[in-house]
Each structure stands twice: as C-alpha cells, then as structure tokens.
Amino acid sequence: MQKATLFATLEQAVVAGDKQAARATLEIAHAADIAQAIHEFTAEQAVRFMSLLSLPDHANLFGYLEPNAQAEIARVMTRNDLAALFSQMEADERADLFNRLSKEDQHALLPGLAQAEREDVRRLASYPEETAGALMTSDYATLRGHWEVRKALKRLRLEAPDKETIYQTYVIDGDRHLIGTVSLRELILANPDRLIEDLMRTEVVSAKVDDDQEEVTKKIRHYDLLALPVMDSEQRLVGIVTYDDAMDAAVEEATEDAQKSASVAKLDAPMNQVSGWELYRKRVFWLVLLVFGSLLSGAGIAYFEDTIAKYVALVFFMPLLVGSGGNAGSQSAALMVRALATGEVAMKDWAKVLGRECMVAGALGITMAVAVFALGLFRGGFEIAIVVALAMISVVVAGSLIGLCLPFILSRVKLDPATASGPLVTTIVDATGVLIYFGFATFILGL
Amino acid sequence: MQKATLFATLEQAVVAGDKQAARATLEIAHAADIAQAIHEFTAEQAVRFMSLLSLPDHANLFGYLEPNAQAEIARVMTRNDLAALFSQMEADERADLFNRLSKEDQHALLPGLAQAEREDVRRLASYPEETAGALMTSDYATLRGHWEVRKALKRLRLEAPDKETIYQTYVIDGDRHLIGTVSLRELILANPDRLIEDLMRTEVVSAKVDDDQEEVTKKIRHYDLLALPVMDSEQRLVGIVTYDDAMDAAVEEATEDAQKSASVAKLDAPMNQVSGWELYRKRVFWLVLLVFGSLLSGAGIAYFEDTIAKYVALVFFMPLLVGSGGNAGSQSAALMVRALATGEVAMKDWAKVLGRECMVAGALGITMAVAVFALGLFRGGFEIAIVVALAMISVVVAGSLIGLCLPFILSRVKLDPATASGPLVTTIVDATGVLIYFGFATFILGL
C-alpha cells in the first residue's frame, strides 16, 4: 500500500473515531509501516488512533515506533492507559520506554503495575545503556532438565503468546543456572518421551550482563544465534538478547563509528529527527579542538618563514604534500578502526599489521614521489624536485603510520578507537607534514 | 575452551588420524570456534581434520569457514570428496563456494552432483554479487493453502533436517506464487484441523531477485523478519534470505562504506587476511587521483603569490582556515552518507536537510570566526583579523554545503554516495578555501 494512501486512511479513521476502519488497516498493512505513518501524526492524534485498536494490537504497533516518538506519545496518555499498555509491551521495549519518561511520570506509573511487572521494569531499566543488560528481554522460555519433550512442548504452547521467542529455549536448574539449550526444531524432531537433559546442548555461548553491546552482536554473528542468553555475576540466567535487537545495535554501532570517524559526537536520534541545535553541539566541540591542531601547522610555517620567503614556489607544493599525507593517514585510520570494531584485527595483531603497513606505505610513498618528482622538475627545477619527492615519501609513510597507530593507542588506553577520526588524523599529519617538508627544504636547499 | 588449547587438541587429532578425538572436539567446542582454529591450519591439514568427521558435521563446520579459506581447502580436496561435501552444504553457501572455484574445477565438479543439485547450484550461482539472489538460499519450507495444520506440521518434521529454517514457512499455489506466510509459532498454537489458508498472513513483505542487498537488510530490519522471501520477475518464490546472512551483509556494507569514506576501494577479504599488495592497490588509486585535486590548491596559492609575498603572515592562518573547512565538510559528508545508507534520510528530504545545514554551518562558522578573530588581532592586526574571520565563516559554510551536497549529487547520478569520502571532500574544500581566503585578503587588504 502506498505511504500517502495509508496515511490518509489512518487519518480518516482518527477523525471519524472509527474502530472498525482503524482495525482494518492492520489487515492490509504491516504494523511497521503503520508505525512509520503514525510518526507524521501529532502525539494526540497517535493516541486517538491507537485507542481505537485492541490492547494487544496497540502494544504491538507501539513497539514499532521510534523510541523518541514512544516517549512523546506516552507523555500525553492517561496514567491508566499507559499502565495497561505497559503490561502488554515486550519486556525490553517497556524498560527502554520507562528510562525515557520523566522521574515524575516514572513514579506515577509504577503503582499501576502488578508487583512482578514493576520489579521486571525496575530491573531491566537499571542497566547502563549499550550493555547486554540494557539490550536484553526477560520474555524468554525456560525448561527443566528432568522434563520429557512432551511436557516441554506443552509448556511452550502455553507460554508462546507471552514470549519473544520460543524457537530457542533455555534449560535451567533450581537456582536458575543455565545448564543447556534446546531449539524448537530439536524438540519437534525428538521422541516425545526423551528427557530434555539428554537432548540439550551443554556447550552454551552466553554474555555477561555488563558486557558491551558490541561484544553481544559479535557473538550473535559469530555463532549465528537466534538469541544469546545473558548471565548475572552469579552465573544465573537473567535475560536473552534476540537477533533483531542485536542487528539494530550493530547498525547503530556502525552509524556511531561513521559519525565519530568524521569527528561528530554520537547523535541521540536518527539524522532526520535531530534539531539543528543538536547538530551544532555535536560538531562544534571537535571543530574548535582541531583549531589548536591546525595552529601547530601554522606555527611550523611561521618557523620556516625565511625559507618560504626565499622560495615562494615551495608553497605551491604544500597542499599537495600535506594533503597526500593526510589522505594516506585517513585511509589507514579508517581501515584500522573498522577492523578493530568488527573484530577482524585484535590488539595482539598490531606488530604484524604494523609491519605490513610499513611496506604498503613505503610503496605508496614511492609511487606518489615519482609522480610528484616530474611536477617538481617542471615547476621548480631539480633541487626542488628532490625536496618534494623525498618529502612525499616521508609524509605518506608518517601519515600512514600515525593513522594506523592512533586507533591502537586509543584502544590501549581504553578510549574508543573510532575517535581516531579522519579530521583528527589529518590535522596531526598536516602539522607533521609541514615540519617534514620545510625541514627537508631547509636542509637540502642549504638555507 | 581456550583458543590455544583447542588448536593443540585439533592438531593432535590430525597427526594421530584419531577419528574419535576429532569428533569429541565437536562436543566441547562450538563449530564456529573450531572453524576459527582451522584457519591457522594449512589447507592439507584442514582437509585431513575434516575427513575424520562425519559428512554432516564436516559440512556444518565447513560452513563456518571464511569464504577464502573454503575455496583454498576445496582446491586440495579430491573431486569425489568435494562433490559429497557439496551435496551436504547449505544451498546458499554451496553456490558462493562454487563461484570461487576456477572454471576448470567448476566443470569437473558438476557431473558429480545429482541433477537437482546441479541445477540449484547453477541457478543460485548465477546472480550478481550483492543482490538478493546472491544472498538467498533455496533451502526453505513451503506449504499449500488447502493443507490442514496437522499435515503441515508433519511435513515440516520430515523436511526440518534439510531446511535452513522451519520457523518461517511460505504458502504457495500451483505456480509457486507466494500467497501467504505462516510461522511455526502460529502452527503449533493453531487447531490441527484448521486450513493453512485460513491461518496464513496474506500481507507479505518480499524482495525481488535483483534487489540490492542493502534493500534486503533494510527490509529485514524494518519488519523484524526471520527471513525475507525473494521473487523472480514473474512473482514466483525462488528463495529466502535469512536474518543471519542479512546481518552479515549489513556489517559488510558498513565496512565497505567505512572504507570508502576514507577513499579506500572495497577489500575482497577481512583486514587480517588481505595481502600488502592488495592494500596497496586499493589505496593508490584515490591517493593519486586526489593529487590532481591538491594541484588546484597549489595553483590557487600560485595565483596569489604576490599577496602572499607581501603578507607572509597570511600563510600562518592558511592551515587553520583550510583545515577547518575540510573538517566541517567531512562531518557533513559522513552524516549524510550514513543517513542515506540507513535510510534515515531519503533523496526527497534534501531541501529540508539543506535548510537545516545552512543554519548549522552558519552558527559553526560564526563560532569559529570569533575564536580566530582574536588570534588574528594578536598575530596580524585588525585588518588581518577581519580577513581571517570573514574567510572562516565562508569556508566553514562552503565546506559544510559541499560535504552535504556531494553525497546527494552522487546518489542522484546513480553513484555510491559513500564515494563522497572525507579525503575527497577535504581536497575539494581545500582548493575552495584557498581561493576564498586569499580572495578576501586581496580584496580587503587592497592589494
């Protein structure tokens, strides 16, 4: 269905307060698409539309809305309606929403929830952002080892409507220690009389509750999991992270890295939703900070003012040399940041990677030097050509090595390697390049 | 189990030719981890280890190996063994491997396969890389609308061992047109007497076989799917893309974009496996190309040589101004490239985004100008300060707009917006910056 048509249909249903029309839209469009259309509504319109739906449909649709939109809509709902919605939402989404409410709304909401739900929300909402705990849900299915397959299947059938997944189940002992996993595929293929403990896989991959979400997504990808169980410090099962949330987290991490790689601080919302003011705030810090880096280049130039005054032709080659160094450095930095993020390269590989980089950078430098030597001959004569060629090799090698090492160093001191962004590397390499270039010039031209 | 211990255990089994020991490793370690250890083996050692396993275990383990390692190992296997392995592998992985074999090996292999397998391999291997067709598998479960739930479950139980997933099933008519989908969760909750056509969802999300893999991963994320059905031009179901392959594709796309954003061409293998020679090739093209861009900056400087000779102090501020413009441009470009890649911003939003960017860039420029005006006063006097401040505003605004528009323009002419990389933007903005700066200087200082 066309987006515009869908929007018009929804709007009509809201204006008419037509329950039947509102519910019919769920038959002809996917909830994810209806959610997208609702993003164009005001919060009041959205509440009015969703009040026309059954509570389970309302909760399902609500789960597809952007977190910011959820919070905005929750703010204009009555407390009773919000409490009812809360009890129907998936545990992880509910906790995320709770964290976006004001302290006042949080306190007003909690008494309206059942005891178990209240505790579940409090617990899930308590984990720091971007950890396994913040990503996990408590809606998972558990089995016991002494059950027969028949009993397990019966239980799953009963619990299915409330669980985020029943395709992967977790076998626990009396203390909630995870002792194995069984997939629904294995269950329906097994003899109904078999015991779960004879069927389950005991080699279990899991995460700790305070693991970084990057670790979680790497594990889910590496082992091709539907869901990853999460344990507390006493090795008890406290939740699972499902593949779809892990996929969203992986894309988010990549976006964050892409922004950092251009010296932009992490945005709190998707690009189309952030305000100009937020964009300004997220960009100005690094831009101003990098001014101080550029001052080094300026100071370098000032230091060699005499050289420049004598051979103004040297200035012609400056953007070329300094720029090439910065470009080579950006390349190395981006390759390394991404390789560290995906786990393709680990900290312990640095010596091997550095060795290869020296060779590659040397080869790149020589290639560039050959090109630039001809140009130097043409514009400044033999001596200038020599200066420019030698400077080019040195600047490209220096730039590449700076770009390669910076992410490693940052990672070593527990900073995010992605901070070794293109602009940061370029600024550092620029200053280095100026010193190398005019240093060579002063030395070779005998100034 | 520790990686080093696992490696030693595997090596021992290979040396001793001990089947029992080899098979026991599968009990204590995940196949994904064994595969990782096998990457350290020579191809011959790997073949020897895998020959100790049962064929299904062999095929499963083989599926976790890196594509390059798979091809290397396939090359040293006997044709019979390779054909046997092929018939056990998952359909999508098999087709990928087939595409990595030499033409000669491909021809030698095909006669060893059963007719249906041969056609399946040929068909799946025929789709261009990075399309839905190349990503999909033919191991999916289909149901018919007139079946009862009971019959459907019985069929799924029979087919389960050969299908990549049975959790999502596809309902087709006699011409293989997709008429609906049913999840296993819905099947086991349903009354066994119900007809599939009464149970299925008819609002089906699907991809076309030649859709870009980026579209596929976006759909799987947007609709939280376990698998996305793929159709041919006649709307017949020809395959499905599962979430785990989509997740790998999403991470790959992000890596490719991160590399492109630093002017590195797409690498054919993970960072830790590419040779120095490949790295050189993938980097040298852009580095050399950007030299021509830098020449523009050089030419700009040469044009203003008289101005520079009179006020050498101007050169001190050049890296600062030009660098700030480049940095602001890199920020805009990175934000825009990523927003286009994730679908947060679409082509039609460009006017809105441009308006916001003008305001943000203006504010950034003024902030930077204030900082740099003080510096100008200190080092060059009032007139220089005015020149530097005005140039800073113009350069930052120009840089930001260039960074913002370039990805849009590239996308418009059907090029990958990610090519609007930091180094490319920086190089263009540098030349623009030189012209703006010395242009202002010449005008204001009345040279």
pLDDT per residue over B351-370, tens digit each? 888 999 999 999 999 999 99
Share of chain B above pLDDT 70, in %: 100
Band (pLDDT 50/70/90 cuts) for residue B160 is confident
Q: Does A263 touch chain B (CB under 8 A)?
A: yes
Interface of A with B in 211-230 (CB under 8 A): 220-224
Residues in A closer than 8 angstroms to B262, CB to CB, are 261, 330-331, 333-335, 422
Q: Report CB contact under 8 Å: A328, B160.
A: no
| Mean pLDDT of the B337-359 span | 86
| Cβ of residue B158 closer than 8 Å to a chain A Cβ | no
Chain B residues within an 8 Å CB radius of A301: 315-316, 318-319
pLDDT value of position B419: 81
Count CB neighbours of A32 within 10 A.
18
Question: Do the bridges between strand B165-172 and strand B178-183 make them parallel or antiparallel, or are there none, so unpaired?
Answer: antiparallel
Which amino acid is it at A57? Answer: D
- ipTM of model: 0.84
Strand B227-231 and strand B237-242: the pairing is: antiparallel
Among partner residues A224, A298, A338, which is closest to B319 by beta-carbon distance? A298
Give the integer Cα–Cα distance in Å for B405 and B409.
Answer: 6
Please judge whether A323 and B434 are an interchain contact, meaning their C-beta atoms are less than 8 angstroms apart: no
Q: How many helices (H) and strands (E) does chain A have?
A: 22, 6
Chain A, chain B: beta-carbon pairs less than 8 Å apart:
329
Rounded mean pLDDT, B439-443: 91
User: Which has the closest alpha carbon to B208: B307, B136, B286?
Assistant: B136
Tokens of A337: 């940041």
Residues, chain A, total? 447
Looking at beta carbons, which residues of chain B come within 8 Å of A221?
Answer: 244, 247-248, 251
Are residues A327 and B244, on separate chains, in Cβ contact within 8 Å?
no
Q: Which residues of B touch A371 (CB under 8 A)?
A: 288, 291
pLDDT at B220 over 90: yes
Mean pLDDT of A130-140: 94
> Is A62 touching B (CB cutoff 8 A)?
no
Mutate to test the interface with B, among A331, A375, A419, A434 (most CBs of B within 10 A): A331
Q: Would you call B423 and A422 a contact, using CB atoms and an 8 Å cutoff?
A: yes
Distance CA A217, CA A221 (A): 6
The rounded percent of chain A whose pLDDT value lies above 70 is 100
Å from B182 to nearest chain A CA? 14
What is the spatial distance between Cα B366 and Cα A288, in angstroms, rounded to a whole number? 11
Report CB contact under 8 Å: B319, A434.
yes
Taking CB atoms and an 8 Å limit, are B244 and A248 in contact across chains? no
The length of chain B, given as a count of residues: 447
Between positions 360 and 389 of A, the ones with CB within 8 A of B are 360, 363-364, 367-368, 371-372, 375
Put simply, the answer to whether B262 touches A333 (Cβ < 8 Å) is yes
Query: Residue B1 above 80 pLDDT?
Result: no
A379 to chain B, closest Cα gap in Å = 11
3-class state of residue A128 by DSSP = coil
B-contacting residues in A 402-421 (Cβ below 8 Å): none
Residue B312 reports pLDDT greater than 80: no
- Identify the residue whose tokens are 């309902």: B171
Q: What is the pLDDT of residue A380?
A: 80
Instruction: For chain B, positions 100-139, list CB contacts with chain A under 8 A.
Output: none
Interface test with A, best of B279, B347, B425 (most A CBs within 10 A): B279
Question: Residue B182's beta-bridge partner residues?
Answer: B169
Cβ <8 Å between A223 and B364: no
Query: Chain B within 8 Å of A247 (Cβ-Cβ)?
Result: yes
Best probe of the B interface among A39, A168, A189, A247, by most B CBs < 10 A, is A247
pLDDT at residue number B306: 83
- Least CA distance to A168: which residue of chain B? B167
Strand pairing class (A207-208; A227-231): parallel
For chain B, positions 284-343, list CB contacts with chain A under 8 A.
Answer: 284, 286-288, 290-291, 293-295, 297-299, 301-302, 305, 308-309, 312, 315-320, 322-324, 326-328, 330-331, 333-339, 342
pLDDT at B229: 97
Q: Which of A221, A283, A342 sits opposite B364 (nearest CB)?
A: A283
Residues pairing with A36 in the sheet? none
> Looking at chain A, which residue has its C-alpha nearest residue B433?
A319
| B420: closest CA of chain A, how far (Å) | 12
Q: For residue A264, what pLDDT is reported?
A: 85
Which residues on A lie below 8 Å from B293 (Cβ)?
A: 323
- Least CB-CB distance to A368: which of B276, B287, B331? B287
Q: Is A262–B345 a contact, with Cβ atoms under 8 angstroms apart? A: no
Contact, B258 vs A258, CB < 8 A? yes
CA dihedral A317, A320, A326, A331 (to 10 degrees): -150
pLDDT digits (tens, 9 = 90+) for B242-294: 999 999 999 888 888 888 888 888 887 777 778 888 889 999 999 888 988 88
Query: Shortest Cα distance from A55 to chain B (angstroms)?
Result: 20
For chain A, give the mean pLDDT: 90
* Whole-number Å distance between alpha carbons of A77 and A44: 8
Q: Please write the tens of the pLDDT for every residue from B46-76.
A: 999 999 999 999 999 999 998 889 999 999 9
A90 CB-contact burial (10 Å; exposed 0-12 / middle 13-18 / buried 19+): buried
A356: left (phi over 0), alpha (psi -120 to 50) or beta: alpha
Contact between chains at A160 and B188 (C-beta distance less than 8 A): yes
- Res A237: pLDDT: 96
**Residue A447: which pLDDT band, with cuts at 50, 70 and 90?**
low
pLDDT at B413: 86
Nearest to A320 among B221, B280, B291 (CB): B291
Q: What is the DSSP letter of A417?
A: G
A364–B280 C-beta distance less than 8 A: yes
Using CB atoms, pick whichever of B205, B258, B290 lies closest to residue A334. Answer: B258
SS3 state at A78:
coil
Of A12-16, A368-372, A398-402, B419-423, which gets the smallest average pLDDT? B419-423
Tell me the chain B residues in contact with residue A336 when contact means C-beta distances shorter than 8 Å: 271
- Which chain A residue shows the shortest CA-CA distance from B307? A312
Q: DSSP state, A201?
A: B
Q: What is the tens place of the pLDDT at every residue in A231-275?
A: 999 999 999 999 999 999 998 888 888 888 888 888 877 777 788
Mean pLDDT score, B316-321: 89
Tell me the shortest Cα–Cα distance from B319 to chain A, in angstroms. Answer: 6
Cα distances (Å, whole numbers) of residue A113 to A75, A89, A125, A294:
17, 12, 15, 57
Quick one: what percent of chain A has pLDDT higher than 90?
A: 57
Domains and CATH numbers, chain A: 3-126 (1.25.60.10), 135-249 (3.10.580.10), 276-444 (1.10.357.20)
**Neighboring chain B residues of A140 at a CB cutoff of 8 Å:** none
